[in-house]
Structure 1
């Protein structure tokens, strides 16, 4: 009987956690809809105690955007292709990673006006992400 109680308690706790993370505070949602009025298929995740992330579709493209708990926009990540990266980023990556197959590429715009480019590759069993600024310099 004790085991059934603990299993039921675990299910209730995990359900509460999932539903708690699926909704952002009102000020975060308001800021999101103000910045992305055409967004659809919105899914919220709590990134940390101070940040929420919305995964959404806009113009048939999947994006993600992060907001502080006060509703301040922090960054937006959008998929792109290697061919659309600035030439300096392509050259820098190709020089440092000859023959490496690119798995995914994203453009990241943040609230300080900076644009970064994320290039994800597979190294062995792990996915590795490299971040470049517009000048092709590796950051992070």
Structure 2
């Protein structure tokens, strides 16, 4: 009986800690609401690097936004069509089958483009392949 109670307590503890990780800190939610007013249906997830990612639709576009744990906006990714990629990026991808494409605007003001080709490839607007970050 003690073993059953112990296992039940252990399972509940693991379950509650998993639930706690799905809820971003108040600072993150406040920063999101300030940047993306009137957005509904937000799904939150915690990245391996500790960032919080919000996935949502805004004006019919699939988007995600990442924030640090203290609420600092880091980047916003917006799904786009292949034809919306800069011509140089399209040229760099010539002959490759692209599954999805996205425009990523970062907090430092830079814009890069992501293309899903067996793996995600990141390009700047001139078509130069960018180094991959460790997530």
TM-score of the aligned structures, taking structure 2 as reference length: 0.85
Q: Spell out the pairing of 1:1-140 with structure 2 (5 A cutoff).
A: 1=1, 4-5=4-5, 7-48=7-48, 50-94=50-94, 98=95, 100-122=96-118, 128-140=119-131
Shift of 1:118: 0.7
Structure 2 CA distance for aligned equivalents of residues 7 and 42 of structure 1: 34
| SS of corresponding position for 1:83 | helix
Structure 1 CA distance for aligned equivalents of residues 66 and 14 of structure 2: 24
Structure 2 CA distance for aligned equivalents of residues 51 and 129 of structure 1: 19
State the superposition RMSD in angstroms. Answer: 1.9
Distance 1:91 1:31, change over 3 A: same
Asked if 2 retains the 8 angstrom alpha-carbon contact of 1:21 and 1:44, the reply is no
Distance 1:133 1:49, change over 3 A: closer
Shift of 1:4: 4.0
Structure 1 CA distance for aligned equivalents of residues 97 and 45 of structure 2: 30
Shift of 1:15: 2.0
1:63-102 deviations in Å (ceiling 9; x for gaps): 11001112110001110111110001101121xxx2x321
Tell me the matched-pair count: 131
Higher share in strand: 1
